[in-house]
Structure 1
Amino acid sequence: MQSVQPQYRQNHRCLVNLLFLPAIAYLLFIAVWLAMRMVYEDRWWWLFVLNAGTLYLLLPLPFVLLAALIARQPFVIAFSVLLLVPGAPLLAAPWMPSITPGFIARSEFTVMTFNINGGNDRPDRVIAAIRQARPDIVAMQELNPDIAAALERDLKNDYPYQALDPQWGVTGMGVISRFPLRRADAQLPGDSWIGDPQVVEIDVPGGMVTLLNVHAIPPFGPRDWMTWSVGERERQAEAIASFARDHRKPLIVAGDMNATPFHRAYRILGREVIDVWRKKGGGAGFTWPSGEQRLMGIPIPAWLVRIDYVFISNDLTCTDASVGPWDGVSDHRAVVATLFVGKTGE
Structure 2
Amino acid sequence: MEGEPLVRRSAGIVIAGLLPWAWFVLRDRLGVVTDVLAIVLPMLTLVVALVAGSLGLLGRRRPAALAFAVSTLLVGVVATVTPWIPHGTGTVDESRAVRIAAANIGEGELEGADTFIGVNADVLVVSELGSPLTHRLSQAYQYVESYWNGPAIAVFSHWPLTVLESPGPDLPGFMLRVHAPSGDFDLIAVHVPRPWYTTGGSTYRQKNPGQPYETTVAGHHRLIEQIAERAAKDSGPVVVAGDLNTTDRGRDYRILTRPLHDAMLDSWGRPSQIGRWAALLVRIDHVLIKQGWCSDHNHWYTIPRSDHHGLVTTIGPCAA
Bin for the TM-score computed over the shorter chain: 0.7 to 0.9
Q: CA deviation at 1:263?
A: 1.4
Equivalent residue in structure 2 for 1:314, among 283, 287, 291:
291
- 1:159-170 aligned at under 5 Å gives the runs 159-167=141-149
Check if 1:236 corresponds to 2:223.
yes
Change over 3 Å in CA distance of 1:103–1:160 after alignment to 2: closer
Check if 1:191 corresponds to 2:166.
no
Q: CA deviation at 1:270?
A: 1.1
TM-score of the pair, normalised by structure 1: 0.69
- 1:30-109 aligned at under 5 Å gives the runs 31=20, 34=23, 37-38=26-27, 40-44=29-33, 47-58=34-45, 75=64, 79=68, 89-101=78-90, 106-109=95-98
Report the residue type matching 2:143 in the other structure: Y
Which string of whole-angstrom CA distances, capped at 9 and with x for unpartnered residues, describes residues 112-131 of structure 1?
A: 111223xx3641x2211112
TM-score of the pair, normalised by structure 2: 0.74
Structure in which a larger fraction of residues adopt strand? 2
Equivalent residue in structure 1 for 2:272, among 265, 273, 287:
287
Change over 3 Å in CA distance of 1:115–1:42 after alignment to 2: farther
Partners of 2:248 and 2:22 lie apart in 1 by 17
Percent identity over the alignment is: 24
- Provide the residue aligned with 1:343 in structure 2: 318
Which string of whole-angstrom CA distances, capped at 9 and with x for unpartnered residues, describes residues 268-321 of structure 1?
A: 1111111112x313342x121334xxxxxxxx5578321111111112111132
Q: Structure 2: state its 5+ residue gaps.
A: 1-12, 57-61, 202-213
Partners of 1:228 and 1:143 lie apart in 2 by 19
Larger Rg: 1
- Provide the residue aligned with 2:8 in structure 1: none
Report the residue type matching 1:111 in the other structure: I
Partners of 2:263 and 2:169 lie apart in 1 by 27
- 1:117-196 aligned at under 5 Å gives the runs 117=106, 120=107, 122-123=109-110, 125-152=111-138, 156=139, 158-167=140-149, 171-184=151-164, 186=165, 191=169, 196=172
Q: CA deviation at 1:325?
A: 2.7
Contact persistence 2:109–2:130 (CA under 8 A): no
Equivalent residue in structure 1 for 2:193, among 217, 220, 240:
217
Partners of 1:198 and 1:223 lie apart in 2 by 21
Contact persistence 2:83–2:249 (CA under 8 A): no
Corresponding residue SS for 1:98: coil
Contact persistence 1:289–1:303 (CA under 8 A): no
Check if 1:110 corresponds to 2:90.
no
Report the residue type matching 1:335 in the other structure: L
Corresponding residue SS for 2:113: helix
Contact persistence 2:195–2:215 (CA under 8 A): no
Which string of whole-angstrom CA distances, capped at 9 and with x for unpartnered residues, describes residues 18-75 of structure 1?
A: xxxxxx9xx79x839838953644423xx5443113344456999999xx9xxxx754
Report the residue type matching 2:188 in the other structure: L
Partners of 1:199 and 1:228 lie apart in 2 by 21
Report the residue type matching 2:23 in the other structure: L
Change over 3 Å in CA distance of 1:126–1:338 after alignment to 2: same
